[in-house]
Homo-oligomer: A and B are copies of this chain.
């Protein structure tokens, strides 16, 4: 029992969230996820073994961070889609939302798609669901454009549609990573990135338009 008002109570209240927050903070500060669980616990003001009541593993903590990232990405893409109409505009919105998320959360994005996780197949169902859903949305847009004749793709040709989906995803994914890793342009500034994003996205769309 502790009578001091400011002293921390024995039970934290929402330690799981606190640990996730600490870990995410370290991630965004350092850009790395090879921090020690002990440091995370220290930041949360808790003993080094407390995290094992909430995460079976260090890997489980990392995976939980990834899940929050996937959900944030999904939210952002959903919002972008809602405000757009027509295949071209929607595709553009998706591209900008996706790249924007990655560029603004570089460490998190790398964690989400890096090797930190036990292989994509080992991911929690939540994550797989988001990924599958993301692909479905993208496919829907492209299929829509194909049906209306906006894109030069035969909507009946399953494979052609798949190739377009994979191509589009590859482009935004690759661009995001190259930008994050500063491979693309070493003296990048926000403005430049935005402009580049717009132009790369436009190239993607041009590649889909009929000749």
Contact = CB atoms under 8 A, between A and B. Distances in A.
Given A121-B186, A171-B171, A178 B166 contact: yes
A207 B151 CA distance: 12
What size tier do the contact residues of chain A reach? 35 or more
A75 interface: no
Given A114-B114, A115-B31, A203-B207, A166 B175 contact: yes
Contacts of A120: 181-183, 186
B166 A170 contact: no
Interface string A175-196: 1111001111110000000001
Contact of A199 (B163, B203, B207): B163
Interface string A21-38: 000000000011110000
Which of A113, A115, A211: most chain B Cβ within 10 A? A115
A205 to B, nearest CB: 9
Contact of A200 (B167, B183, B184, B185): B167
Contacts of A119: 31, 182
A174 interface: yes
A20 interface: no
Given A172-B174, A174-B172, A113 B181 contact: yes
* A-B pairs with lowest CB-CB distance, top 8: A174-B174, A207-B207, A170-B174, A170-B175, A173-B174, A163-B199, A167-B203, A211-B211
